[in-house]
Structure 1
């Protein structure tokens, strides 16, 4: 998937890749393929900076608690760039990624505020690194010597067909289907994804029309 994302950058890098809406705070953030890949590169470099070995699994608890959030999808792609299988929860991996209010910890834990602009916590999270430290990482596309991987929940991720259209996902579930539909399929094609959390049917219809996306 990582090599496909790089090919996407070369052909449609400036076009929207992922748009995230949250009804709770009225926020909207849109990431082009270039911007999304930049976040992935910085996060992959953070993983290496933490001393986490390439190829070792990473517990992305965000995929349980906030499956459709753009930060969750960045972490999944960054883990794969380092050749690290992703477990969507807590399995005992040395590196754990959690969201706000999640007190679970591992030998290395990164806590993500999920602020629309990636801003960190007002108070440093106890026993965890604030994900805002990712801003200090270099904008360098560093791929593991082991190669990339798409391990998911202890298995090789299923094959995903490329997608070239704009799809709106409403309150996506904590499941592989969300990762496949929101991240992998558009990366393999030329499509894009709009993710909307907390909207009613009327609100979703308005978003679909405004974003020119299919529900």
Structure 2
């Protein structure tokens, strides 16, 4: 078993960088975004470089990620865990080194003491958020200027905090166990209702540790499920 989240992610990408790792649907906007392992790896690396080179962070630091299930949220979470900062999901505000927020959480993010603040509109084609809230920089603009390869000068260890005070080793064990509970098998193509499974343990980490690919659906329209299962070659629906 991989004992850090970056190791589990690297294993998932290495298995086949060209096939879809995460496919995103929003049935309210009609957005569909597909990310292969290689594409997601680029976004994760850019995010990690943003945190290390842009914000000067690493293991021992902290990031608040106040975002709903989304492919950009996956990139931010995995980028944070790759760079080293422990992630805090809320809801109780605390001092962190960086905070990521979306349109629905910008106001709440103001209660989190943070050195750097990034906002994203979670928009199709990763378009920038307009208007940009005061005190924030746009994640989708800033991240593009960073390298699409990341090499950690201080790699995370299994004992480093990953989610709050919970270590990478503990998260790895929990994600592996959760994958078994949900019936996610290696190689599965899993359609996940983001409204039902909003916890990253369910929609991101359990499939990642199981070696599965993800079809993540927001505002899932029950009328399209059967057609989507066929179109996306889904083997498990959650």
TM class by smaller structure: 0.7 to 0.9
The DSSP-based 3-state class of the residue aligned with 2:52 is helix
Q: Which runs of 5+ in 2 are unaligned?
A: 180-185
Specify the alignment match of 2:208 in structure 1. Answer: 187
CA deviations 1:72-123 (Å, max 9, x no partner) are 1111111111121111124321211000242323331100111122121233
User: Is this contact kept in 1: 2:102–2:122, CA < 8 A?
Assistant: yes
Task: Calculate the aligned-residue CA RMSD, in Å.
Answer: 2.1
Query: Structure 1 residue 154 and structure 2 residue 155: aligned?
Result: no
C-alpha separation in 1, matches of 2:25 and 2:212: 18
Structure 2 counterpart of 1:92, from 63, 72, 95: 95
Determine if contact 1:44/1:142 at 8 Å carries over to the other structure. Answer: no
SS at match of 1:58: strand
Instruction: Give the alignment partner of residue 137 of structure 1, picking from 117, 126, 146.
Output: 146
SS at match of 1:169: strand
d(CA) in 2 for partners of 1:49 and 1:115?
Answer: 25
Alignment of 1:10-159 (within 5 A): 10-55=14-59, 56-62=61-67, 66=68, 68-89=69-90, 90-101=93-104, 102-103=106-107, 104-105=109-110, 106-131=114-139, 132-147=141-156, 149=160, 151-156=162-167, 157=171, 159=173
Residues 59 and 92, structure 1, Cα contact 8 Å, conserved in 2: no
Matched with 2:190 is 167
Long gaps (5+) in structure 1: none
Change beyond 3 A, Cα 1:155–1:189: closer
Return the offset for 1:144.
Answer: 4.7
Q: TM-score, normalised by structure 2?
A: 0.79
Deviation at 1:208, TM superposition (A): 1.7
Does structure 1 conserve the Cα–Cα contact (< 8 Å) formed by 2:194 and 2:203?
no
Contact 2:65 / 2:89 at 8 angstroms: preserved in 1? yes
User: Deviations 1:185-205 (Å, cap 9, x if unpaired)?
Assistant: 343343201011112322223
Residue 233 of structure 2 corresponds to which residue in structure 1? 212
Contact 1:17 1:36 in 2 (8 A): yes
- Displacement, 1:173? 4.9
Does the 8 A contact of 1:112 with 1:130 survive in 2? yes
- The count of aligned residue pairs is 209
DSSP-derived class of the 2:55 partner:
coil
Q: 1:4-40: CA deviations, max 9, x gaps?
A: 3223333311111001100111010010111011100
Query: How far 1:60 sits from its partner (Å)?
Result: 0.6
CA contact (8 A) 2:57 2:84 kept: no
Provide the secondary structure at the position in 2 that maps to 1:117. helix
Higher helix share: 2
Note the C-alpha offset of 1:125.
Answer: 2.7
Cα distance in 2 for partners of 1:36, 1:82 equals 15
